[in-house]
């Protein structure tokens, strides 16, 4: 089971609602750690919340409408999209692949789980 960061869930869902997503969002701990800027990058103004907001907007653009209404969904297998992330202390961008899967939570409600697709070398 993939652990998700509980302390951020309300903030993430508020950002998801603002982005127009109709599902609650969970972010895996691994992805959350990748999105947190180093102290050096934070001093330059790169913020964790802004990175999450960017990913949610990319996710929103990747969903497709359901035929019977204005609600959006994704394929059963989920979607994978690349996101460039600035890393430090040497300023360079690395591509990170993010997988979004539609799942049911413990209460039986649909939610989207975002995870990092880690390269196996």
Domain ranges across the chain = 9-117
Mean pLDDT, range 84-104, rounded to an integer: 86
Mean predicted confidence (pLDDT) in 87-99? 84
With 70 as the cut, is the pLDDT of residue 96 above it?
A: yes
Binning pLDDT at 50, 70 and 90, where does residue 70 land? low
Q: At what angle do helices 9-19 and 48-62 cross, to 10 degrees?
A: 50
Could you tell me the pLDDT band of residue 64, with boundaries at 50, 70 and 90? confident
End-to-end Cα spacing for the chain: 22
Residue 121: pLDDT over 60: no
Measured in degrees and rounded to the nearest 5, phi and psi for residue 71 equal -70, 150
Distance CA 103, CA 100 (A): 9
């Amino acid at each position: 089971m993939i652990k998700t960061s509980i302390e951020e869930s309300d903030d993430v869902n508020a950002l998801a609602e603002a982005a127009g997503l109709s599902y609650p969002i969970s972010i895996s701990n691994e992805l959350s750690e990748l999105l947190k800027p180093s102290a050096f990058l934070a001093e330059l103004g790169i913020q964790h919340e802004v990175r999450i907001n960017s990913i949610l907007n990319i996710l929103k653009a990747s969903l497709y409408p359901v035929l019977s209404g204005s609600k959006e969904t994704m394929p059963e297998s989920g979607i994978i999209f690349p996101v460039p992330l600035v890393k430090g202390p040497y300023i360079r961008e690395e591509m990170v692949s993010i997988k979004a899967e539609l799942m049911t939570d413990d209460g039986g409600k649909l939610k989207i789980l975002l995870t990092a697709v880690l390269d196996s070398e």
